[in-house]
Structure 1
Amino acid sequence: MQTKLTNVSTGAVIDLDDEMYPSDEHDWSAIVSNTKYALDGTMIVEQSVRQAGRPYTLQAPDDMGWLSRATVNALKAERDKLGATFWLDYLADGDVKRVKVMFDTTGDAITARPVKDFISPSLDDLFIVTLRFLEIPSV
């Protein structure tokens, strides 16, 4: 597996399924604009380059990319560490890309639903998982 999440501070690695991919990779622009009008009607456009904040919603189609309950538990434990940052490695365009992220806890950072309609408390049970991150500066 090449898709993984690594805690920057502790080095703890959680392997993810290589079928998981940022579903919102094309929804974000590095350029942000603000427009306003001067009193004479002239439009004023201000632009800047965003330094960080790109969302990464990592997921797979419902019929692949499943994660075990043990992996979901490990992800939840990492999510609940205050100020934790991670290296997210994922496959894209025939390469492994690496970005520095943190869990996006402004909403549901992790959603997991069982593959089967019933589950047991087994760590091997499989889940359809969506992970939400925000890119942060990698300094």
Structure 2
Amino acid sequence: MISLTHDGTTLTLPGDLFWADRYGWRSVTAAAQYTLTGALVLEYHQRQAGRPITLEAARDRAWMDRGTADTLQAWANIPGAEMQLDWHGEIHTVHWRHEDGALELETLRELVPHQSADRVIATLRFLETPE
């Protein structure tokens, strides 16, 4: 199960959302510099936070209803919104990654009039932050 909680309100998200960048982030960074004498100086650092979490749906899976999409859109419009992401039992404190688009929503089929049960394809972009 995947859920997202903000200010005491919890949304259940489709359980088959794909975590696209799960294995692409590294917590260790390194810098290499040469001194004036030509010696190599290596510095290593452990990142404290900042892991990107991108959850993606597709045309054939992980749809959500319009009501859930509307709530996500409202939350994405709150500056500095802090949320708790429960990814199948792993808890992550996250913020929207606005610099990368934060949230993309596309209706599966455009139906008029709109119904809260209409299906929506979503991409959610978060940044993991310290608790």
> What TM-score, normalized by structure 1, do the two folds share?
0.88
**Aligned residue for 1:56?**
53
The SS at the match of 2:98 is coil
Whether 1:13 and 2:10 are equivalent positions in the alignment is yes
Q: In 2, distance between residues paired with 1:60 and 1:107?
A: 17
The SS at the match of 2:11 is strand
**Aligned residue for 2:130?**
137
The RMSD of aligned alpha carbons is 1.2
Residue of structure 2 aligned with 1:99, choices 71, 92, 112:
92
Letter in 2 for 1:107: D
Q: How much has 1:69 moved relative to structure 2?
A: 1.0
Q: How much has 1:130 moved relative to structure 2?
A: 0.4
Q: In 2, distance between residues paired with 1:26 and 1:59?
A: 15
Number of aligned residue pairs = 130
Extract unaligned runs of 5+ from structure 1: none
User: Deviations 1:22-75 (Å, cap 9, x if unpaired)?
Assistant: 210111000011111112222211111101110000113431100111111000
Structure 1 moving runs of 4+ over 2 Å: none
Alignment of 1:1-139 (within 5 A): 2-7=1-6, 10-91=7-88, 96-116=89-109, 118-120=110-112, 121-138=114-131
The SS at the match of 1:106 is helix
Q: In 1, distance between residues paired with 2:33 and 2:63?
A: 47
Extract unaligned runs of 5+ from structure 2: none
Q: How much has 1:105 moved relative to structure 2?
A: 1.0
Sequence identity percentage:
31
> What TM-score, normalized by structure 2, do the two folds share?
0.93
The SS at the match of 2:117 is coil
